Structures are given as C-alpha cells and as structure tokens.
Amino acid sequence: MLAVLFVAFAAVGLWCGVVGVLSTGYAYPRPQIDGLLFLVLAFMSAALGMGLWTLEEDARRAGIAFFAILFTIGLTGAFTLAVDEALTVGDVVSASLLRGFSGSALAYLMRPGVRQAFDQLVTIRLAD
C-alpha cells in the first residue's frame, strides 16, 4: 500500500515539477526552483516506492527515516502553530493529518511482520 502511495506521490510531484519548471513570465526564479525541487522529490519518491514494492530492506529503512522526518515536521509545526497568533483551522488540520499519516506509516513499517517480510527476502537472496 505504501509503495503505491509513493508512486502516486511521484506522479503528482512530477506533474508539479514540470509545471513549475516550465512556468515563465516571472521576474524571479522561485517557481522554477520549486519545480526542480518537486522533480527531485518525485524521483526519490518513485525510487522509494519501487524499493518498497520489491521488499528491499534499504527502502524500508529509508521509508522509516522519511516518515520520522515528516512526523517531526508535524510535531514542530504543531508547536509553532501553538504559539502563532494567526492560527487557522487549516493549519491545525494539516499538522494533525501530517502527524497521523506519518505516525501510522512509521508504526506499519516497524511492525514485526513487516520487518520479517523484508528480512526474509534478504535471507533468500543471500542463500542463492
């Protein structure tokens, strides 16, 4: 499920990156820089999704690191929002969704059954 989600993120990031890079007529290069960032993230997301799909242990570890960073961003965003005077409902909802999604993905990737599935594939490859 996470592999498909990462590939979907890659598709959306690729579209946003192409639109950002191809946007012209601005006096500053910010859309083009953002587009390049989206393209890099799209390729990283596609590689991570393909690695999770093929049960690569390195992809599982990279996914854990990725979701840990997202969870930390969600927590620091929540703390920042708590002291911000211009707090909106959208800010609270987005920080809560980020924490909830990344926390549940972290819990899934760290489950013993999931870890065993990734370890089993590594063991089979070493035996060949």
Question: For 28-42, what is the HEC assignment?
Answer: CCHHHHHHHHHHHHH
User: CA dist 106 to 30, 50, 64, 97, Å?
Assistant: 33, 18, 6, 14
Q: What contacts 107, CB < 8 A, 6 or more positions away?
A: none
Cα(98)–Cα(93) distance, integer angstroms = 9
Tokens of 6: 């990462």
Q: What is the pTM of this model?
A: 0.69
Cα separation, 67 vs 63, whole angstroms: 6
For residue 84, the 8-state DSSP code is -
Q: How far apart are CA 98 and CA 74, in angstroms?
A: 6
Q: How confident is the model at residue 50 (pLDDT cuts 50, 70, 90)?
A: very high
pLDDT digits (tens, 9 = 90+) for 66-95: 888 888 877 776 666 556 566 666 767 777
